[in-house]
Amino acid sequence: MTEDIYAKPDLTKKVRFQKGVKEDRDTDVCDDIDNVKIYDNVWAEESTPPEKSEDNITEEQQPTVSVNGSSEKRNVFGAAAVLLGLLCLLLLVGVIVLVVLYILERNRLSVENANLTSERDKLRTSYSEVKVFNHNLTLKMNQLEEEKDHLKATNNNLTNERDELQDLLDERTCCPNKWTRFGNSCYLTSTSKKNWSDSSQDCRDHDAQLVIISSEEEQEFISSFKQRTWIGLTDEESENVWKWVDGTPLDKEYWGNGQPDNYNGGGNCVEISTADSKQNWNDLPCRYNCHFTCEKILE
């Protein structure tokens, strides 16, 4: 029926119009055929249609109104269809955009996940390396701690050895208490009297010896004590062959006037007298008791 409405009317056909309506509808139309008027609607194509009478205009108004209403409905439906098509197109575009964004986001997340996995693996490797390094560092620290304790013990031993060597050096380079230093030697004059042999032994007991005079300055120093004392010179082994207690022969002599005179027939040992002159040596028998002077040579 919709096709009949929108179909183009065929103006070449002859149309029959009934002028009046028969009240009796049961009567056959053919009975009233005399009242039927037939109009010829045919005109040449692109020619001007015949003028319509007032009766024809009145009767044709109804079909014209019907065609305009259908056209308006068609326009509404067409606009709705176009709008719906646009909405579908927009929806399709939106779906495509969402799919593209989803794919891009998924790829981005996949890349980030791969990067995070790589970073995690690197961190695990770094952690393992740090753990191994820490273990090695701990071992090294323990080793250094042991070495420190060993060095500390060694240092203590060296300190003790240093102190002992310092004490020994002080003994060798410094004179003991009550001894007097002159040059590179320390001297001590006894307060008791002994014979020459006992005097020599007493000096040896103090890691010293009876004084050996080896220079003029030393002779003057010993003479400055102004006391008669034994010195380490004797000729007991051979008469008139004077030697010092260390076995060296006499080189420089400081005999007093008329000495040696072999006093009392046995003057085999020598003393320093109290004479003002530095020539003050005197021979005496070794059995005599005299003071004595010991000499400790410093190293």
pLDDT, average across residues 91-104: 92
Whether the pTM exceeds 0.75: the reply is: no
Give domain status of residue 175, yes or no.
Answer: no
Distance CA 175, CA 182 (A): 10
Give domain status of residue 253, yes or no.
Answer: yes
For residue 240, the enclosing domain spans 180-297
Q: Within 10 A of 33 (CB to CB), how many other CB atoms are there?
A: 10
Give domain status of residue 211, yes or no.
Answer: yes
Residues 261-277: tens digit of each pLDDT: 887 777 899 999 988 88
Give domain status of residue 231, yes or no.
Answer: yes
Distance CA 63, CA 179 (A): 164
Residues 101-123: tens digit of each pLDDT: 999 999 999 898 999 998 888 88
Distance CA 47, CA 222 (A): 178
β-pair type (229-234, 185-189) = unpaired
And the tokens for 47? 């020619």
Distance CA 160, CA 90 (A): 100
Give domain status of residue 141, yes or no.
Answer: no
pLDDT, average across residues 151-174: 81
Give domain status of residue 6, yes or no.
Answer: no
Give domain status of residue 171, yes or no.
Answer: no
- How many distinct structural domains can be found in the chain? 1
Q: Which residues contact 173 (CB under 8 A, 6 or more apart)?
A: 298, 299
Give domain status of residue 245, yes or no.
Answer: yes
Backbone angles phi, psi at 36, to 5 degrees: -90, 135
Asked if pLDDT for residue 3 goes beyond 90, the answer is no
